[in-house]
Amino acid sequence: MHSDQEQKLREKIGRMLADGLQTQTEPFPENDTQFGQLLTQLRDIDAKDLKAKLVLSGFTNSPYGEDRMRCQECMYYLVHRKWCDLPELALPVEPDWWCRLWRI
Amino acid sequence: MANLLWLQGGACSGNTMSFLNAEEPSACDLVTDFGINILWHPSLGVELGDNLQKLLRDCVSGAIALDIFVFEGTVVNAPNGTGEWNRFAGRPMKQWVKELSAAAGYTVAIGDCATWGGIPATAPNPSDSQGLQFLKRAQGGFLGAGYKSKAGLPVINVPGCPAHPDWISQIVVAVATGRGGDLALDDLQRPKTFFQSFTQTGCTRNMHFAYKVSATEFGQRKGCLFYDLGCRGPMTHSPCNRILWNRQSSKTRAGMPCMGCTEPEFPFFDLAPGTVFKTQTVMGVPKDLPKGVDKKGYIALTGAAKNAAPKWAEEDLFVV
């Protein structure tokens, strides 16, 4: 994906979240078993079904929780590309967003 | 001339295969250049049956000086403490181990099984296996915590699954040439010359570790394997990235996570499904942090590192 395409997709996701898309932010996967289950569910989703991906992974367009968790500190976040490198997501994101696949 | 006897207990022969691939020095160099007389080895020994039993009895009695006793594999105690599941040369192997260890100038445990019990001693440990002087991290093992060889050293532990060939041959040469007393051992009786540093020491992915860029799939040419793929390099004591395997590479250099096989807890998490090649986390934070780093420091470091990460760190570094 070219950077301009990524930017368009990033803006599209931003609009969906700003328009009030309800996503499943809870429960946060407390351990790897739960994390793995979530990944399995994500793999079962059609890779082109953006909305389903966002909903299941619990995307928010702002930092989350008391600890203000956000993409910027997440292990899967590529800072310069502004990209989530988790293969099951593989989406352009903003540093202040968050999802429940967050890992540090 | 130093006499060396090598026996195998509950073992897969992996350390023997590793040893026979040694290069500096090689197994042949041990004989020709360092004057080591290999009395018997499972893959090299020619004595069989009564002749082998006589050789072993002579080692026990002192008729043949046993300078170095090398043991590979676990001491098998099943069933019911008899050791009958692992018979060798006419009786349970554990009886030979007990008597030969008492007669040996130096006793060297090679590989995880002989050092801490390794995979056979993983719960539920059906073979009732022990390492020579440890069972996992608990000191004691088959010979007991107080055991010392005639040279005054405890069992010299050379762990690994398998141990690197050069770790084996260099330790054997050290004791055979009278430098056993120079060996500094750590709390787990591992030679510090090999096991003071970490697997991560010398890893070519250290830049990605520093900038918190994660590899998310095996064999990727970028990213650190610690964050997502269960690499134990930052917590494991071994020289795998200083003394390379086949003089070429290491697991982490090739894009495979370190499994921590030189530590007593290997295999970690008792091989429970989902624990191998996956960093175990609690609420998104790794359960096992790099040695000496606490959770608060780790989170602070991550934030700073991510902010400072250069663009190249996100791209393939090792291209062909």
Q: DSSP label at B62?
A: T
B12-44 pLDDT tens trace: 999 999 999 998 888 899 989 999 999 999 999
Numbered residues of chain A with Cβ closer than 8 Å to any chain B Cβ: 28-33, 35-36, 69, 72-73, 75-81, 85-87, 102-104
Number of H helices, E strands in chain B: 9, 13
> What is the ipTM, given to two decimal places?
0.80
CA-to-CA distance for B36 and B50, rounded, in angstroms?
A: 24
Residue B132, token pair as written in the block = 């020579």
Bind-site residues of B: 12, 113, 161, 203, 224, 231, 240, 258, 261
**Domain ranges across chain A:** 3-21+32-92
pLDDT at position A2 is 82
Single-letter amino acid code for the residue at B241: N
Q: Structure tokens of A5?
A: 């395409």
- Residue A79 tokens, joined: 């800072």
Q: B38-51 pLDDT, tens per residue? A: 999 999 999 999 99
Q: Of residues B122 and B23, which shows the higher confidence score?
A: B122
Q: How far is CA A7 from CA A59, A82, B18, B154, B313, in A?
A: 17, 9, 52, 63, 21
For residues A41-69, give the mean pLDDT: 93
B56: nearest Cα among B20, B101, B14:
B101
All residues of chain A having their beta carbon less than 8 Å from the beta carbon of residue B275 are 32
Identify the structural domains of chain B with CATH numbers, from first to last. Answer: 2-194 (3.40.50.700), 197-315 (4.10.480.10)
**CB-count burial class (<10 Å; 0-12, 13-18, 19+) for A20:** exposed
Q: Region B263-279: what's the mean pLDDT?
A: 91
How many A/B residue pairs have CB atoms within 8 Å?
62
Q: How far apart are CA B176 and CA B178, in angstroms?
A: 6
- Give the confidence band of B87 by pLDDT, cuts at 50, 70, 90: very high
Residue B316 has pLDDT above 90, yes or no: no
* Distance separating alpha carbons of residues A64 and A23, to the nearest angstrom: 13
Give the ranges where chain A is alpha helix by DSSP (H). Answer: 3-18, 32-44, 50-57
Cα(B21)–Cα(B221) distance, integer angstroms: 28
Q: What whole-number percentage of chain B has pLDDT above 90? A: 80
Answer yes or no: is pLDDT of A32 > 90.
no
Mean pLDDT of B285-303: 90
Across residues B145-150, what is the average pLDDT?
A: 97
H/E run at residue B134: strand B134-135
Q: If you average pLDDT over residues B277-302, what whole number do you get?
A: 90
Tell me the C-alpha distance between B10 and A1, whole Å: 53
At residue A19, the pLDDT reads: 97
On chain B, the residues whose CB falls within 8 A of the CB of A29 are 284
Closest Cα of chain B to A90: distance in Å? 11
Residue A56 to chain B, least CA–CA distance (Å): 17
User: How many other C-beta atoms are found inside a 10 Å radius of the C-beta of residue B146?
Assistant: 9
Q: What are the residues whose beta carbons fall under 8 Å from the beta carbon of B193, sequence distance 6 or more?
A: B183, B184
Measured CA to CA in angstroms, residue B113 lies from B205, B233, B255 at distances of 30, 20, 26
Whole-number Å distance between alpha carbons of A19 and A57? 17
pLDDT interval class at B148 (50, 70, 90): very high
Kindly determine whether residue B213 and residue A78, on different chains, have CB atoms separated by under 8 Å: yes
Q: Which of B74-83, B191-200, B275-284 has the lowest mean pLDDT?
A: B275-284
pLDDT of residue B89: 97
The secondary element (H helix, E strand) that includes residue B6 is strand B2-8
Rounded to whole angstroms, the Cα distance separating B166 from B159 reads: 12
Give the pLDDT mean for B243-263: 95
Q: Under 8 Å CB-to-CB from B167, ≥6 apart: which residues?
A: B158, B160, B191, B194, B239, B243
Query: Cβ distance A99 to A63 under 8 Å?
Result: no
Instruction: Give start and end residues of each alpha helix (H) in B156-219.
Output: 165-176, 192-195, 206-210
Strands B281-282 and B285-286, sheet pairing? antiparallel
Interface contact B309-A80, CB threshold 8 A: yes
Cα separation, A48 vs B118, whole angstroms? 45
Dist CA B251 CA B233 (whole Å): 10
